[in-house]
Chain A
Amino acid sequence: AQSVTQPDIHITVSEGASLELRCNYSYGATPYLFWYVQSPGQGLQLLLKYFSGDTLVQGIKGFEAEFKRSQSSFNLRKPSVHWSDAAEYFCAVGPNNNDMRFGAGTRLTVKP
C-alpha cells in the first residue's frame, strides 16, 4: 500500500545539537518529496522539496534533506538546532502532480 512513514512520533534534542528526522515512503516511482513545519495552531510552512537532480536539497532555516532512492527515504537534517525550531515536522509525498500525502508528523522538543 502507498504510504508515508515518520517512525519517530516525538524527538527531544538539546539546543545546539544536530538533528535528523526520518521519513520513508512507499510508492512505485520517485514521487515529489517535501518537508513542512507547523507551529502550534498555525498552517504549514515549506522547508524544502525535491523532485529530481542533486539528491541533497538545501532548504530554509538551515535545514537540508537527502533523497536515497535505494532506501526510499528522505530524511531531514540540521547541524545545530535552535530553540525556535521546536515544532511539528511533516514529511509529504506527491505521488502525482495533483495530490499530496502526509506522514503523521514528528514533534520536536528542544531542551535549553
Chain B
Amino acid sequence: DAGVTQSPTHLIKTRGQQVTLRCSPKSGHDTVSWYQQALGQGPQFIFQYYEEEERQRGNFPDRFSGHQFPNYSSELNVNALLLGDSALYLCASSPGLAGVYEQYFGPGTRLTVT
C-alpha cells in the first residue's frame, strides 16, 4: 500500500514565477492538507481540501491556492513567487471523518526560489 506521495521532490524557481506541486493521498483517504515548513521551523498549515473544496485555511495569502480532483489527489499552486516561499511543502492525507487524528504525511517537495 503506497503512502502519501508527492511530486516533484525538488524544484527551483525564479521570483515572480508560478509553481504547482502535486500530492496523491494514501489509499482510502479522501482529505488532503498542505503545510509549509521553512528552514529551521515547524510546519505551518496552509489549507485542507475535502470533497474537492477548501474546507479550512491557515494564515496564507491568496497567492496560495489549491485544487482537489475527483480521485482525491491534490495540487498546490503558488503564484508570484517570493524568496520567502522557499520551503519544504508537505502534503498530508486522512480519512474525511477522522481528520488530523489519522493524518499521514508525505516526504515533501523542496522548493527553492532564487
Contacts and interface: CB of A to CB of B under 8 A. Distances in A.
User: Is the A/B pair a real complex?
Assistant: yes
Q: For chain B, what secondary structure do more than half of its interface residues adopt (helix, strand, loop), or is it mixed? A: mixed
B61 interface: no
A99 B42 contact: no
Interface string A80-112: 000000000010101011111111110000000
Contact of B43 (A51, A94, A102): A102
Contacts of A41: 110
Contacts of A46: 103-105
A101 B106 CA distance: 17
Q: Which of B42, B99, B104 has the most CB of A within 10 A?
A: B42
Nearest to B99: A97
Nearest to B107: A43
A43 B45 contact: no
Contacts of B16: none
Contacts of B11: none
B29 to A, nearest CB: 14
A43 B106 CA distance: 6
Going nearest first, the 10 A-B pairs with the smallest beta carbon separation are A97-B99, A102-B42, A94-B100, A43-B107, A44-B105, A98-B56, A99-B45, A43-B105, A100-B100, A102-B43
Interface of A: 4, 32, 34, 36, 41-46, 49, 51, 90, 92, 94, 96-105
